[in-house]
Structure 1
Amino acid sequence: MRIGLAANRLHHESADAALFRWLRASEKGIRELGVGLHAVGRTYDAIASTYPLQNYPALQRYPNGREGGLMKLVAEVVGMGTPERTLDGAIYFIDPVDPSSVFPEAIALKRQCVIHGKPFISTVATARDWIEMERIHAGFVPDPGANDLHDFSKQTLALIAHDARKPQMLAFAAEHFDVLSQFQQRIGTGTTGQRLNEMAWSRGWPRDQEWIHRFQSGPLGGDAQIADRVLEHRCQRAIFFEDPHVARQHEADIQLLERAVTTVTDEAVCITAPNIAARWATAAQIRQKA
């Protein structure tokens, strides 16, 4: 498994920065899984100069960002014809006020991960959650250090899907209804929320209760309303099935939600691809039975 790795300066410039908080929490799992980390220049240098992952042979250095390092990650997420030049996803710890986070290569990295059904991980919580998910699928016993991520009865889950992805969201929610129903609350935007409620009622959910609390539709501000919940630490996980092929009039609202998630990087988990969401839900079920 090969994962691209980059972090904006804020997230690697001090010993307690986001990159190192993740490495301290997940180093055991990274080593157990043998995850290949293909790190852009300064991110690699920051790791090499500190304790985490010392003498880890699967850590590789790519050029600095201004020398094309992030562009190379994008190309290798797409795939360059050989296993050695193909990445299985990307971790990019984003500082939402760093101008480089909206450079074309940064936007393309996420877009290509979504298009190719690969994980795009932009927060510490998502990175921790992903390592634990892969550990569970590999047959390792649950890590008690990840229990906070799986305390669903105290968490709020946002379920959002663009028009072309709504059938996939409905299928995902129906297949993993029992896991999703464990959350203290579920929230969503207008049309998706209504269709999910109808699905839940058809499965026996009480008709006088919403399975998912609906905000406005995305174009009318629903994404912004959910972003506010994230910023207030009242939404801990978002499953957001994006359609990367369609120009969207409310693109700014979508970016607002994404920036909110990265602002509370240690608390918010965000999944953007249907196959990754299904893999997470399956791991959650396995973990609960372990």
Structure 2
Amino acid sequence: MNIALIAHDKKKDDLVRFTIAYKQILEPHTLYATGTTGKRIIDETGLTIHRFQSGPLGGDQQIGAMIAENAMDAIIFFRDPLTAQPHEPDVTALIRLCDVYNVPLATNMGSGEILVHALRRGELDWREIVHGRNTET
């Protein structure tokens, strides 16, 4: 499956720890991330990640384009709800696209754990049937 990993600045440490904890579940999948987040995860876990631009420079929109093409299967986006984000309209658009295209979205550690365990159990395999593409990983 194609999975995007995104984190606001104050949540990057949490996402790095999350990917370390769930590396074995995430490793078989194709991972994508926004710029700085992706670099931090690569440096700390050794996971293979396709990096987009950073969020404020268009990375959120690049991931949004994949969602609109039904080329993204899940998003783990650790948001910081207490800090204003300069690219908030892009964040809102990304969340809206997840709702429009029924892409599972985790926005914090708790929902991220639920999503990763569902992934491990094969509970996202419905995407292959609905979208008619191969999601064997």
Instruction: Indicate the TM-score class for this superposition, using the shorter chain for normalisation.
Output: 0.7 to 0.9
Q: 1:197 aligns with which of 34, 37, 42?
A: 42
* Structure 2 CA distance for aligned equivalents of residues 284 and 187 of structure 1: 16
Unaligned runs of 5+ in 2: 123-137
RMSD over aligned CA atoms reads 1.5
**Identical residues among aligned pairs (%):** 36
Query: How does the TM-score come out when normalised to structure 1?
Result: 0.40
The one-letter amino acid paired with 1:252 is P
1:240 counterpart = 2:77? yes
How far off is 1:276 after superposition? 2.1
User: Which residue matches 1:168?
Assistant: 14
Aligned-partner Cα distance in 2 for 1:221–1:280 = 25
Tell me the alpha carbon deviations over residues 170-202 of structure 1, each in whole angstroms, 9 at most, x when there is no partner: 00000000101121x11110100001111222x
CA distance in 2, matches of 1:241, 1:281: 14
Residue in structure 2 matched with residue 188 of structure 1 by the alignment: 33
In the alignment, is residue 281 of structure 1 matched against residue 116 of structure 2?
yes
1:64-114 CA deviation, whole Å, 9 max, x = no partner? xxxxxxxxxxxxxxxxxxxxxxxxxxxxxxxxxxxxxxxxxxxxxxxxxxx
Higher relative contact order at CA 8 Å, sep ≥6: structure 1 or structure 2? 2
The one of 23, 43, 55 aligned to 1:177: 23
Whether 1:257 aligns to 2:103 is no
User: Structure 2-normalised TM-score?
Assistant: 0.83
User: Following superposition, which runs of at least 4 residues in structure 1 exceed 3 angstroms of deviation?
Assistant: 282-285
1:194 aligned partner, one-letter code: K
1:246 is paired with a residue of what secondary structure? coil
CA distance in structure 2 between the partners assigned to 1:168 and 1:258 by the alignment: 20
**Equivalents in 1 of 2:110, 2:99: separation in Å?**
22
Q: Secondary structure at the match of 2:93?
A: helix
Q: Partners in 2 of 1:166 and 1:240 — Cα distance?
A: 10
* Aligned counterpart, 1:223: 60
Matches within 5 A, 1:67-106: none
How many residue pairs end up in the alignment?
122
Between Structure 1 and Structure 2, whose CA radius of gyration is higher?
1
- Alignment partners' CA distance in 1, 2:35 and 2:77: 14
One-letter amino acid matched to 2:99: T
